[in-house]
Structure 1
Amino acid sequence: MSLDDLNDDVTAAYSELDDELPVALDRETKNELAMLTAAFDTAETDEVVRRAIHQLFQTTVDRGTLDFHLRQGYDVTYDEYLSGMTYEEMTGADQYPQRDDERRYQL
C-alpha cells in the first residue's frame, strides 16, 4: 500500500462518519465515562468522548504507535501523510536509478 492508498482510506472513512456516532458501551466503559463526565462537570458525554479521541490520537502520535501501524499497513509515516510525499520523494532519492552492484565492478 502507499501514501495514495492511505489518503483514499482516510477520505473514505471520514465520509462514512456522521455527526452522530452510535457506540455500544460495556459496563466498565460506561462507568469510566460517567466518572469523567462528573469530574469535568459537563452536561453531555459528547465533550468527554471528543477529549478522549484527541488524547488517544495525541498519545499514539507521541509514542510512535501511529507511525508503526501506518508503516505496517501503508509503508508511510504520519509525517509523510501530512506532507503529502514520502521521505524518498522529499530527499530526491527516488529520482536516481538503482545501482546494479553485480555489474558495478565488471570491466
Structure 2
Amino acid sequence: MSLDALTDEIEATYADLGEECTVALDRETRNELALLATALEPESTDELLRRAVHMLFQTTVDTGKLDFQLRSGYDVTYDEYLSGMTYDEMTGANNYPQLDDERRYQF
C-alpha cells in the first residue's frame, strides 16, 4: 500500500459516511452517554459524540497508535499523509544517482 492508496481509501470512506452516521448503542455506552449529557449539558448528544471522536483521534495520534496502524497497513505515517509526501520524497533519498562501482574511486 502507499500514500495514494491511503488517500483514496480515506476519501471513499468520507463519502460513504455522508452527513449523518447512525450508531447502535449498547447498554454501557448508552449509560455513559446519558451521564455525560446530564453532567455537561450539551445542546444535543450529537455534540458529545463529535467530541468523543475528536478525543479518540487525538489520543490515537498522541500515543503513536495511528502511525503504527498506518505504517503497518500503508507504509506511511500521519505526518507523511498530512504533507502528501513520504519522508524519502521529502529528503530526496530516492533521487541519488546510481553508483558506478568500477569507476567509484578513480580520479
TM-score (norm 2): 0.89
Structure 1's 98 and 7: CA in aligned 2 closer, same or farther, altered over 3 A? Answer: farther
Query: Corresponding residue for 2:96?
Result: 96
Give 5+ residue unaligned stretches, structure 2. Answer: none
Distance in 1, matches of 2:48 and 2:27, equals 17
Indicate yes or no: 2:80 matched with 1:80: yes
Indicate yes or no: 2:63 matched with 1:31: no
Distance in 2, matches of 1:63 and 1:98, equals 39
Query: Corresponding residue for 2:11?
Result: 11
Structure 1's 100 and 21: CA in aligned 2 closer, same or farther, altered over 3 A? Answer: farther
Identity of aligned residues (%): 66
CA RMSD, Structure 1 to Structure 2 (Å): 2.0
Distance in 2, matches of 1:98 and 1:76, equals 25
Quote how far apart the aligned CAs of 1:42 are: 1.7
| Secondary structure of the corresponding residue to residue 18 of structure 2 | coil
Structure 1's 41 and 16: CA in aligned 2 closer, same or farther, altered over 3 A? Answer: same
TM-score (norm 1): 0.89
Give 5+ residue unaligned stretches, structure 1. Answer: none
Structure 1's 25 and 81: CA in aligned 2 closer, same or farther, altered over 3 A? Answer: same
Give the number of equivalent residue pairs: 104
